[in-house]
A = this chain, B = another copy of it.
Amino acid sequence: MNILHSLPREDGFYMPAEFEPHEGCFLIWPERPDSWAGGAYAARKAFVKVISAIARWEKVTVFASYNQYENARASLPPQVRVAELSTDDAWARDVSPVIVKNAAGEIRGIDWGFNAWGGLYDGLYFPWDRDNHVARKACDLLDIDCYDRRDFILEGGSIHADGEGTVMVTEECLLSPGRNPDLSREEIEQVLRDNLGAEKVLWLPYGIWGDETNGHVDNICAFTAPGEVVLAWTDDERDPQYERSMADLNYLQSQRDAKGRPITVHKLPLPRPVYVTEAECAALEPMDGEPTRSPGERLAASYVNFYIANGGIILPAFGDPADEQAAAVLQRCFPGREIVPIPARDILTGGGNIHCITSQVPKGNR
């Protein structure tokens, strides 16, 4: 693995879309008892379901700590690879390399800086050094070169790409003061252009209300094809999400993508509000004295947080009537893929969902 300091765009590399073919997927085995209730036991069961579903179509590599390697190995299907790797938590999307590709099909990784979604300003845990080393190690395991971009804070969940020059982010997240406070919006956009090969950056105003990542785009809006997105939506005007989704819709309808296309927006209904229970809070074990969640807190539940596997859509299910509606919308958007709903409450209570715990490796020439 070479550590590169050049710019991917100048080297001819760009970020492919998630709906393009993958050679694999990374996840991290959950363990942290202040993120995952009940010693992470229920979360691990839910992760196994997600991993097993993805493994039907892709080579999955699961990173596990030294202490959890044998448990992960024994819990996961044999076609899944388990690799010892130290992390601070289990959000593979945000700590894995963003993989870029060139016209010849070569793939390389980008190792962004990671500061636990806001560092000492409003980050979610400290320290985060293990997480910050994951991307480089993942590139090393893949045996691909790695761009050193640790001077710029960015998580994989805060960007989406259509693979044709358009990248989508939220202002709420990328302009949040805990990430790159010394850079202007224009400078941040330039970093996205230089590293992801973006010719057009779509800046949605907002993410999901209450999302503790400062509104990652991957919980509110996702490309389903070039020029097409799904947007998390509610018709309930009293829901604080209503104005946010409406602002994003208006923005998207005012924009064109890198190829000059208008953006077709498919509304993906939100489930009814999901609140964390007293029992779930009591089952969290504080690691630094502060409670992670309070009973009655609304969780950032959204069907947009699905993973696009080669042959399927791994979709969070909440036991809500909207589960089926969401599956139906996505089946129309992805006619060639099987919709695989997975009960996701035990992932959601950790603070994210299926897209957040996965990170695809686009197919590359070797």
Which residue numbers of A lie inside 8 Å of B, CB to CB?
1-3, 59, 66, 69-70, 73, 78, 81-86, 130, 133, 136-137, 140-141, 143, 145
Q: Tell me if B136 and A73 are in contact (CB < 8 A).
A: yes
A307–B137 alpha-carbon span in the complex (Å)? 27
**Within the oligomer, what is the number of copies of this chain?**
2
A84–B140 alpha-carbon span in the complex (Å)? 10
Q: Tell me if A140 and B81 are in contact (CB < 8 A).
A: yes
Q: Tell me if B141 and A69 are in contact (CB < 8 A).
A: no
Give the shortest distance, in Å, between A111 (CB) and chain B (any CB): 11
Give the shortest distance, in Å, between A180 (CB) and chain B (any CB): 23
Give the shortest distance, in Å, between A129 (CB) and chain B (any CB): 9
Give the shortest distance, in Å, between A246 (CB) and chain B (any CB): 46
Given known contacts A3-B78, A66-B133, A83-B141, what 11 new A-B pairs fall within 8 Å (CB)?
A3-B73, A66-B86, A66-B130, A69-B133, A78-B145, A81-B141, A81-B143, A82-B137, A83-B137, A83-B140, A84-B137
Give the shortest distance, in Å, between A221 (CB) and chain B (any CB): 34
Q: Determine chain A's interface SS by DSSP, over half rule.
A: mixed
Chain B residues lying within 8 Å of A70, measured Cβ to Cβ, are: 133
Q: Tell me if B86 and A137 are in contact (CB < 8 A).
A: no
Give the shortest distance, in Å, between A41 (CB) and chain B (any CB): 22
Q: Tell me if B86 and A83 are in contact (CB < 8 A).
A: no
Q: Tell me if B141 and A141 are in contact (CB < 8 A).
A: yes
Give the shortest distance, in Å, between A62 (CB) and chain B (any CB): 10
Chain B residues lying within 8 Å of A84, measured Cβ to Cβ, are: 84-86, 137
Chain B residues lying within 8 Å of A140, measured Cβ to Cβ, are: 73, 81-83
Residue of B2, B82, B130 touching A78 (CB-CB under 8 A): B2
Q: Tell me if B78 and A1 are in contact (CB < 8 A).
A: yes
A70–B140 alpha-carbon span in the complex (Å)? 11
Give the shortest distance, in Å, between A134 (CB) and chain B (any CB): 9
Q: Tell me if A69 and B1 are in contact (CB < 8 A).
A: no
A165–B356 alpha-carbon span in the complex (Å)? 51
A70–B136 alpha-carbon span in the complex (Å)? 9
Chain B residues lying within 8 Å of A130, measured Cβ to Cβ, are: 66
Q: Tell me if B1 and A81 are in contact (CB < 8 A).
A: yes
Give the shortest distance, in Å, between A44 (CB) and chain B (any CB): 18
A34–B70 alpha-carbon span in the complex (Å)? 28
Chain B residues lying within 8 Å of A137, measured Cβ to Cβ, are: 69, 82-84
